[in-house]
Amino acid sequence: MDYYILTIAFYLSVLTYYIGVLILALPIPWYGIKKWGPILIVDGIKSAILVFSFNIIILSVAYISEVIGINWYNFNAWIVGKISELVLLYTFLFSLQTVASKVISGITGIFTSPLLSLITYSIILLETFLIVGAVVYSYCSKFIAIGILLHNIPFRISRAAGSTLIAFAIIYFIGLPLLPTFIETITTPTITPKIDLNTLKTGVAYGTIYLKDIIGKPIPYAILKITMPNDKSKILALYISNSEGIINALSLERGLPADEEYLVEVEYLGRIIPVTPNPINPKQHYKHQNETPYIKLVLKAIDTIVYRYISFSFEEGTIINYIKTNATLMKLIIKCNNKKYIELRIPDEIELVKIYDNNTEIVPIRKEILEWYGVTYTYYKVEVEEGVHNLEFHFNFNNFTPDKVKPNASEVPYLSNIIGEDNIIEAIHRLIALFFFTYFIAPLSYFFILISVTYGLASFIGGRRAMRIPVRVI
């Protein structure tokens, strides 16, 4: 196809040449017409040179590309990667807008809508680059051939267009794949955000978590850690339940993961209490109040009872048949198939007075004083033999104040944590400004640089002024 176009281009240059000769031979002594003769003769010769230079141009482009080290695969991969990052940011911001605006008063689309538009523009621009890149890569030689054809049409009718097309194909084939290098060069010294965009995949939702023990009583002042299922060491959030065993994740910087499964770890007085459900699929816990998506999550302990800040943990296989409590006493009837242990964790200033097993006083087999986030507690281990046991635990709460059980740990609010800033709104604005600069303004500047280079090369190929052979015309 290219050679067919070039054949036409060659014959056009021959035609141009002979038209020039014909005009030169005209018996009309009128300079306005006659001047075209020598111009067209030279144009014809130049056009023929251009036609035969087709291979040289193609080879030169390939040679220069290879010398510079251009890789179209990297260019495409870079753009696709950046688009997916922007899409991730868009999705995150969109969910923040829809969810946060309904749950938290004061947050509306006013602050997110312009940011969403900026991301959209950047995505569209990068997509355009991808398309331009694909077109240039696939049709470079065809563009050059068509450019030569247009360049060779007699009387310079489409010479500028042809030159521009040739220059466009050459410059964009060589220059476009350098876009990632250009952007990375100009953005490296600027402040890059601390955020790892992959964490945004988890989205954001708002709601309340209730921590309950086996019998549905709240677990107060427990630490809840939210982690990724694939990387337990990466803490997404850390919250502390209040005295009612409730965690409110309702302010803007708090929140909970919304789109991906996550693991929870409930820790109370130094023990990680196994809870159900775990892992948690947030989509199963949405409640709709006044058409507002809202997460209500109840985490129920599997093996622990919390009675007035005292934790009782039972081994697997212990069946609890009866529980009765009053101000200082806890009564239990349990059944064990073999020898079992019961662990008690009692905060400081609560005194374990006595333990009765089937009306016989027993003593714990182990006692230890430990500390958990600044809370001192006593650990007791009680042994029970096989069979049914009527247990009674007597306590003395005289000097106890609940505040002392509150762990001295700092909370890690979810949204602040994944964004990496305390001031969410400012952080999001800065992040998007940086993205807009990197993926919109910088590529656009590069695009204009290439356009100006194309213009320069087009002037070189097309010639700014007509060149004439040294023949005098009347």
Shortest Å distance, C-beta 119 to other proteins: 37
CB of 20 to other proteins, least distance (A): 8
Q: Compare residues 59 and 272 and give the one whose CB is closer to other proteins.
A: 59
Q: Which of 1, 3, 27, 73 binds other proteins (CB under 8 A)?
A: 27
For residues 44-73, b (16+ Cβ closer than 10 Å) or e, as one string? bbbbbebbeebeebbeebeeebeeeebeee
* Out of 2, 35, 45, 102, the residue judged to bind other proteins by CB under 8 A: 45
- Among the residue ranges 14-22, 174-182, 207-215, 374-382, the one whose residues contact other proteins (CB under 8 A): 14-22
Beta carbon nearer to other proteins, 26 or 319: 26
Residue (24 or 320) nearer to other proteins, CB: 24
Closest CA to 241 of 288, 299, 283: 299
If DSSP states are collapsed to H, E and C, what string results for the chain? CHHHHHHHHHHHHHHHHHHHHHHHHCCCCCHHHHCHHHHHHHHHHHHHHHHHCHHHHHHHHHHHHHHHCCCHHHHHHHHHHHHHHHHHHHHHHHHHHHHHHHHCCCCCHHHHHHHHHHHHHHHHHHHHHHHHHHHHHHHHHHHHHHHHHHHCCHHHCCHHHHHHHHHHHHHHHHHHHHHHHHHHHHHCCCCCCCCCHHHHHHCCECEEEEEECCCCCECCCCEEEEECCCCCCCEEEEEECCCCCEEEECCCCCCECCCCCEEEEEEECCEEECEECCCECHHHHEEEECCEEEEEEEEEECCEEEECCEEEEECCCEEEEEEEECCCEEEEEEEECCCEEEEEEEECCCEEEEEEECCEEECCCEEEEEEECCEEEEEEEEEECCEEEEEEEEEECCCCCHHHHCCCCCCECHHHHHHCCCCHHHHHHHHHHHHHHHHHHHHHHHHHHHHHHHHHHHHHHHCCCCCCCCCCCC
Site for other proteins in 190-219 (CB under 8 A): none
Q: How far is the CB of 154 from other proteins (least distance, A)?
A: 10
Using the rule CB under 8 A, is 53 a contact of other proteins? yes
| Piece in contact with other proteins (CB under 8 A), picked from 43-51, 302-310, 315-323, 355-363 | 43-51
Q: Is 22 in the site for other proteins (CB under 8 A)?
A: yes
Nearer CB in complex with other proteins: 41/247:
41
Give the chain's length. Answer: 474
Nearest to 221 by CA among 239, 247, 242: 242
> Given the complex with other proteins, which of 13 and 313 has the nearer CB atom?
13
- The binder of other proteins chosen from 41, 204, 391, 432 (CB under 8 A): 41
Tell me the window of 23-31, 212-220, 252-260, 421-429 that interacts with other proteins (CB under 8 A): 23-31
Our CB check for other proteins shows the closer of 48 and 236 to be 48
CB 102 within 8 A of CB 252: no
Q: Is 1 in the site for other proteins (CB under 8 A)?
A: no
**Residue 473 found at the interface with other proteins (CB under 8 A):** yes
CA atoms within a 13 Å half-sphere pointing along the CA-CB vector of 227: 13
Q: Which is nearer to other proteins, 18 or 139 (CB)?
A: 18
Among 2, 3, 20, 285, binds other proteins (CB under 8 A): 20
- Residues 54-83 touching other proteins, rule: CB under 8 A, are 55-56, 59-60, 63, 66-67, 69
Q: Residue 467 Cβ, how far from other proteins at the closest point, in Å?
A: 15
Taking the least distance from each CB to other proteins, the nearer of 30 and 448 is 30
Contact flag: residue 17 with other proteins (CB under 8 A): yes
Q: Which of 305, 301, 307, 312 is nearest to 384 (CA)?
A: 312
Tell me the per-residue interface mask from 413 to 452 with other proteins, x by CB under 8 A, - otherwise.
----------------------------------------
d(CA 194, CA 171): 36
Q: Within 10 A of 28 (CB to CB), how many other CB atoms are there?
A: 10
Where do we find the tokens 């060069």? 185
Single out the residue of 1, 3, 29, 105 in contact with other proteins (rule: CB under 8 A): 29
Contact 289, 307 (CB under 8 A): no
Which of these segments, 48-56, 77-85, 210-218, 326-334, binds other proteins (CB under 8 A)?
48-56
Q: Which of 21, 125, 197, 457 binds other proteins (CB under 8 A)?
A: 21
Nearer to other proteins among residue 10 and residue 172 (C-beta):
10
Give the one residue of 12, 330, 384, 432 binding other proteins; rule: CB under 8 A: 12
If binding means CB under 8 A, how many residues of this protein chain bind other proteins?
A: 38
The stretch near other proteins (CB under 8 A) out of 16-24, 103-111, 345-353, 435-443 is 16-24
CB of 462 to other proteins, least distance (A): 18
Q: In angstroms, what is the minimal distance from the CB of 52 to other proteins? A: 4
19 binds other proteins (CB under 8 A): yes
| Residues near other proteins, by CB under 8 A | 4, 7-8, 11-12, 14-15, 17-22, 24-27, 29, 34, 37, 41, 45, 48-49, 52-53, 55-56, 59-60, 63, 66-67, 69, 471-474
